[in-house]
Amino acid sequence: MIATATITPTSDFIAREDAWGAHSYHPLDLVIAEAKGAWVTDLEGHRYLDCLSAYSAVNQGHCHPRLLRVMIEQAARVTLTSRAFRNDQLGGFCEELAHYCGMEMVLPMNTGAEAVETAIKAARRWGYRTKGIADGEAQIIAFEHNFHGRTTTLVGFSSEPAYRAQFGPFAPGFVLVPFGDIEAVRRAMTGNTCAVLFEPIQCEAGVLMPPAGFVRELAALCAERNVLLMADEIQTGLGRTGARFACDHESVTPDVYILGKALSGGFYPVSAVVSRREVLGVFDPGSHGSTFGGNPLGCAVAREALRIVHDEQLVARSAREGTWLLAQLRTLEHPAIKAVRGRGLMCAIELHVPARPYCEALQQRGVLCKETHGTVIRLSPPLVVSREDLAWAMEQLRAVFAA
């Protein structure tokens, strides 16, 4: 008799996804069916501690009951009006987010990539209207190893070949310099430079940290040269690094915040560009838009997501638990470990060898994390994670790295 493979709910779902879905991701082979707080459950009933947090989108934890309640209540009233009409959630959202950021104006979008694209448009128009750059000549400085999204414009100034291969031609107007090199930024600046776009921590590149003082020096240089400093805090904002924003660690307020992910606690795609009136005031009716951007459902959820960050003291929790976790990670000893780094609950273990087998071994022990750039394990659990859960995760990490 020829043995046949056992078909399980998980294997059936994976087979259907692989057959019908485009293969733009390489996920771990489990199928999540439920989630609550810092834990998720697969179709077979196995529980896992989520140490990825949907790339920092669920800082508030999975299926937060307050977000669920607000979403249901708002969905029963009105979900979408488009910006052709006003809705009763948009004004409050803009006011509350502007206050949270210490800014004057908000332009809401949906995805992080849309927010970055919006910031680029704002910076260029500001450069032409305010700085006096000749039309079509504006340049933006970005950094090697950046990750700002997947649109053709954004991958066009990526230094990662896999993100760019056979997607060109790409838009001009971007200059890449080494991350953390203030002198390289200084040399790259010209009279046509309208902005510097940066991530305070390069999360997708492997949680790469800039040298101490770099963000502060960058802010000072941009102010000196009349260049906008645009901080992509999509993954690092709203408490992830143990501060309100990662820029806060060097007491820097950028000219532009670019936000997303945890802005809606994982319930709905909400992003935003937040800045001074001088910058976002360059948009006039018809110059930019989005059917879903600023919709009442997204705004209601985002307003509650911001309140949860405040009410549950998630910034302080991230600082406290992240400090403990990073100290524990640094006690791991294994020849495969090259470095441990991080800030708040954004941590990483860089290896000398491929990280995928270690992620799969951790999955077998109930800890979900994902490799990035081949050799880095990123560890970023929801900010609601308990010390007890983190201690348990460390036991699993020690077991995997003892093998």
Catalytic residue ranges: 147, 232, 261
Query: What is the length of the chain?
Result: 403
How far apart (Å, rounded) are the C-alpha atoms in residues 47 and 19?
27
How far apart (Å, rounded) are the C-alpha atoms in residues 65 and 80?
22
How far apart (Å, rounded) are the C-alpha atoms in residues 363 and 367?
5
How far apart (Å, rounded) are the C-alpha atoms in residues 172 and 140?
10
Do the Cβ atoms of 87 and 78 come closer than 8 Å? yes
The residues that bridge with 339 in the sheet, in sequence order, are 350
**C-alpha distances out from residue 166 to 142, 152, 170, 381, Å:** 21, 11, 10, 34
Backbone dihedral angles phi then psi of residue 338, each to the nearest 5 degrees: -95, -45
Continuous segment of H or E residues that includes residue 140:
strand 139-143
The burial class, CB within 10 Å (0-12 / 13-18 / 19+), for 233 is buried
How far apart (Å, rounded) are the C-alpha atoms in residues 30 and 11?
9
Neighbours of 236 (CB within 10 A): 29
Task: Spell out the long-range contacts of 226-229 with Cβ–Cβ below 8 A and sequence spacing 24 or more.
Answer: 226/131, 227/141, 227/189, 227/193, 227/194, 227/195, 227/196, 228/123, 228/126, 228/194, 228/195, 228/196, 228/255, 228/256, 228/279, 229/195, 229/196, 229/198, 229/254, 229/255, 229/256
DSSP conformation class of 261: G
Residue 214, helix vs strand vs coil: helix
Residue 49, helix vs strand vs coil: strand
Q: What is the dihedral of CA 231, 235, 238, 239, to 10 degrees?
A: -110
